[in-house]
């Protein structure tokens, strides 16, 4: 049975690539902070998720500084942020690693937010999306820039049942904060 056809409750995986990071000399990649543009764009990502009614029940976030700062600035835009689990395995993760982390989400979580890095996130979305609304999949294939958000929807009894091509890419957005 096709997971999108109703094999369980509706689930949404929201994938957020960290905002634009700085590259300070002598700083390890894991410890790179957000750049000024990233500090503007991360709150815009949080507002975009709220406006799209895509607030998560749980967030999984890479332990890299730029991912943690993205999460903190984005979630500060919501009344009550959901619980977050900082997951070291998300840093530099490939598709199998990312999918393994997603599949560990508790079954009561309806919307899961994944905050991490490219190229893994883009490849994960392309692996899971069997189809999309409008031209969202075509736009994502062109570029998955910093602060990009992809929303995948599917039906399944648990997160463990998520399989390649089972989800519908329902939204793809790249929120940007205004320069002051």
CA distance 53 to 13: 13
- For the beta carbon of residue 167, count every other beta carbon within 10 angstroms: 27
Q: Output the pLDDT for position 180.
A: 67
Taking the alpha carbons of 59, 135, 120, 10 in that order, is the dihedral positive or negative? positive
pTM: 0.94
Q: What is the mean pLDDT of residues 130-154?
A: 92
Whether the per-residue pLDDT at 1 is higher than 70: the answer is no
Q: Output the pLDDT for position 3.
A: 39
- For the beta carbon of residue 132, count every other beta carbon within 10 angstroms: 21
Q: What is the mean pLDDT of residues 36-53?
A: 97
């Amino acid at each position: 049975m096709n997971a999108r056809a109703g094999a369980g409750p509706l689930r949404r995986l929201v994938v957020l690539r960290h905002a634009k990071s700085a590259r300070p000399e002598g700083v390890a990649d894991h410890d790179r902070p957000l750049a000024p543009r990233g500090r503007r764009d991360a709150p815009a990502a949080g507002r975009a998720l709220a406006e799209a009614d895509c607030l998560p029940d749980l967030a999984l976030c890479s332990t890299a500084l730029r991912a943690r700062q993205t999460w903190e600035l984005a979630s500060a835009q919501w009344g009550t942020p959901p619980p977050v689990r900082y997951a070291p395995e998300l840093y530099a993760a490939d598709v199998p690693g990312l999918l393994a982390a997603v599949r560990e989400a508790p079954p009561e979580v309806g919307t899961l937010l994944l905050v991490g890095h490219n190229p893994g996130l883009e490849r994960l979305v392309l692996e899971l999306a069997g189809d999309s609304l409008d031209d969202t999949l075509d736009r994502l294939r062109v570029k998955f820039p910093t602060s990009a958000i992809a929303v995948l929807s599917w039906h399944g009894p648990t997160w463990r049942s998520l399989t390649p091509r089972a989800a519908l890419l329902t939204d793809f957005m790249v929120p940007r904060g205004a320069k002051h």
